[in-house]
Amino acid sequence: MNTDCMQNVYIALGTNTGDREANLKQAIAKLTSVLGEPLAVSDVIETEPWGFESDNSFLNCAICFATELTPEKLLDETERIEREMGRKCKSTDGKYHDRTIDIDILLYGNRVVNTPRLKIPHPLLHKRAFVLVPLAQIAPQMMHPVLCRTIKEILSLIK
């Protein structure tokens, strides 16, 4: 592995159906098998659904890996893991639903990616406390490459 090409990637995990703790552990294990040992894993927090109604609360966490995969290859891997864990489809057009696992790429180093398939930084990162709270735990000084504020600063603006 060429460590000169390694980038820190920050990923959010969320689950609100089935054995939620086991779902997170399984997703982390599957990501680890692709990316190697995580550099950091946040605490797990429990949150209410965001953007839709459900009786099922979420467990959320953030995780950091170093990777040499391109953002697109990383997306391929996260989507494969979601499918393996029973996720049928991604949320689209603001229509959200219960899910066994949701894996979102939040940040990929200081890169900005804006393609029809992938947007990094995650376009809703700065609006979601359920993502910012765990992310701030493992990367408070990480700079958002578009907003030019640290994760800790962004979190303080929505609290």
* Burial class of 134 by CB neighbour count within 10 A (0 to 12, 13 to 18, 19+): buried
DSSP 143: B
- β-partners of residue 128 are none
Active-site residue, from 102, 111, 117, 149:
102
> CB–CB of 13/103 below 8 Å?
yes
Q: Which amino acid is at 121?
A: P
Respond yes or no: is residue 117 known to be catalytic. Answer: no
Q: What are phi and psi of 66, to 5 degrees?
A: -100, 130
Respond yes or no: is residue 99 known to be catalytic. Answer: yes
* Torsion (CA) 136, 77, 27, 34 in degrees, nearest 10: -90
Active-site residue, from 104, 111, 117, 128:
104
Active-site residue, from 19, 20, 99, 128:
99
Active-site residue, from 76, 87, 98, 149:
87
Compute the distance between CA of residue 64 and CA of residue 60 in angstroms, rounded to an integer.
Answer: 14
Respond yes or no: is residue 83 known to be catalytic. Answer: no
Respond yes or no: is residue 111 known to be catalytic. Answer: no
Kindly calculate the radius of gyration of the chain based on its CA atoms and give it in whole angstroms. Answer: 15
Q: Which residues are catalytic?
A: 87, 99, 102, 104
